[in-house]
Amino acid sequence: RVGLCVLCGLPAAGKSTLARALRRRLPQRPGWACALLDYDELIPPEAFGPPEPGVGPAEPSPLLPRWKRSRRELLQCLERFLRAVVTGGPLSAPATATQPAWERFLACCHGQGLLSSAESDAAAGRSWTHAATSRPLYLILDDNFYYQSMRYEVYQLARKYSLSFCQLFLECPLECCLQRNRLRSHPLPDQTICLMARRIEMPDLKKNAWEQNSLILKSFDCTSEDNEQIISLLAAALENPVKQNEENTEQKEADRAICAASTVHQADQTCRRIISQTMKDAKDKNIPSSEMKSLAEELNKLKAEFLEDLRQGNELKNQICIQNQHSDPATSVISSFQHEATNVVNKYILK
């Protein structure tokens, strides 16, 4: 049996302290094997630096920031590990992850006692240690995981391989995190932590069924290694692994809401650019300045109507949308808006 335990919270909230405590505690009392995946060690510091000066075509996804690519690679390495443990097959590198990312992951597995010392090379066939296969294994993922979507990616792995999944969210006052962070040898900028505090998404146990196995803990409650509440959560999750074909209507609705918000944002940005260009064209065609304000108001009102249609999922009555019914909603809205904006500006031109 394998469990994935996600630690999340602001930097300096106490996650690493709790992770190390669990690493010592779990093999002793419950008798589980335990390994710690520290994202600070598995993702290189340079991934959070400025963008590369010239990203070549060999990169996996030049449009993604390096830190996002590094997280994706780490998730791919973790999946290869889980697949090998569950199926008993060979442990081999994912095709889309870089060699340094895979080597860092292997070094972590070796350091955590999951791979035998003879398997530190890059050979395809790998040997698990007795600790990794003889008893239940918990993988503790230590990271901020401040977006719900970051944690949901780990949950999807648990569902794919019928593993256990749980979350420990450490709630710590922002000022306390800032003070602790300043005492570190390599502190983060205050503004980074403040920005994360504004964006962090706590587990929503009422809304998301997949977050039911979660604890929201005050950081000062997590210093004891004998926290029965945490052990009980881990045990309950281990006894109830996620089902592969588990239907989750609530999460589907949440996923649709996230997707819809992204689509509306994309359409809004594009419509703004269309309005800007349309106003420039109108000025070039000598529309009187006295009418430019009315034109702008009409275009913005039109944009609001189209975005509301998109947000509500209403049928767009425009013929252009009917022609584009096989395209995605944002593309249809943008095409329709472009058409209507042209009609609006033509009214002013023909006056």
66 C-beta neighbours (distance < 10 Å), count: 18
- How much is the pLDDT for 194? 94
The closest of 248, 204, 223, 236 to 3, measured between CA atoms, is 236
CA proximity to 35, closest of 117, 133, 103: 133
Quick one: tokens of 351? 């006056």
Put residue 145 in one of left, alpha, beta given phi > 0 → left and psi -120 to 50 → alpha: left
pLDDT of 248 reads: 58
Cα separation values, 172 from 5, 9, 117, 143, Å: 19, 8, 39, 15
> DSSP assignment of 5-39, as one string?
EEEEESTTSSHHHHHHHHHHHTTTTT--EEEEEEH
Q: Compute how many other C-beta atoms are within 10 angstroms of the C-beta atom of residue 321.
A: 20
Handedness of CA 199, 202, 205, 206 (dihedral sign): negative
Quote the pLDDT of residue 157: 93
Residues 6+ apart with CB under 8 A from 62: 55, 56
pLDDT at 87 (0 to 100): 84
Establish how many alpha carbons lie within 13 A of residue 283's alpha carbon, considering only the half-sphere containing its beta carbon.
Answer: 9
Locate 121 and state its tokens: 């090379």
| Residues 6 or more apart in contact with residue 12 via CB below 8 angstroms | 172, 176, 177, 178, 180, 181, 184, 193
CB 36 within 8 A of CB 113: no
Query: What pTM was computed for the model?
Result: 0.64
346: its two tokens:
């033509």
DSSP 3-state of 81: helix
* Residue 307 pLDDT: 79
CATH 3.40.50.2300 for the 2-50+65-239 domain, yes or no: no
pLDDT at 321: 40
Q: What is the pLDDT of residue 220?
A: 56
Contacts of 160 (CB under 8 A, 6+ apart): 79, 244
Residue 313 region by backbone torsions, left for phi larger than 0, else alpha for psi between -120 and 50, else beta:
left
**Residue where the block lists tokens 């830190």:** 67
Lookup result for tokens 């918000």: 261
What per-residue confidence (pLDDT) applies to 257?
65
Number of other CB atoms surrounding residue 18 within 10 Å: 26
Where do the domains of the chain lie? 2-50+65-239, 247-350
Q: What is the pLDDT of residue 122?
A: 43
Quote the DSSP letter at residue 156: H
Closest alpha carbon to 77 in 45, 110, 48, 42:
42
Give the pLDDT of residue 186.
86
Q: Are 14 and 170 in contact (CB under 8 A)?
A: yes
Residues lower than pLDDT 70 in the chain = 45-64, 117-134, 220-226, 245-257, 260, 312-330, 351
Q: How far apart are CA 239 and CA 250, in angstroms?
A: 23
